[in-house]
Amino acid sequence: MTVDMLSILGAALAVSVGAIGPAFAEGRAIAAAMEAIARQPEASGTISRTLFVGLAMIETMAIYCLVVALLLLYANPFTQ
């Protein structure tokens, strides 16, 4: 196994494992927001704006994994 192959494996692993947690979390957040909107349709503006901000926060974790994968694939410090 060369460093290149290990980097590709690491990148795939980082994205695939790192996407699981945020996916579940975003699903729960959206389900809760749906419930809240169904109960109180008049507050849907506030709820959806807060939901977007919260989703962005959750998504950050997945994006960190994406950054790690991109660094491994395109700017790998160990292969140059």
Closer of 26 and 59 to another protein (Cβ):
59
Render the burial of 58-76: b for 16+ CB within 10 Å, e for the rest.
Answer: beeebeebbebbeebeeeb
Instruction: Give residues 19-48 in contact with another protein (rule: CB under 8 A).
Output: 45-46
Residue for token digits 């809760």?
Answer: 32
- What is the C-alpha separation between 32 and 72, in angstroms, rounded? 36
Among 1-9, 23-31, 32-40, 66-74, the segment contacting another protein (CB under 8 A): 66-74
Tell the smallest beta-carbon distance from residue 16 to another protein (Å). Answer: 14
User: Binding of another protein at residue 63 (CB under 8 A)?
Assistant: yes
CB atoms within 10 A of CB 11: 20
Q: Which parts of this chain interact with another protein (CB under 8 A)?
A: 45-46, 49, 52-53, 55-57, 59-60, 63-64, 66-67, 70, 74-75
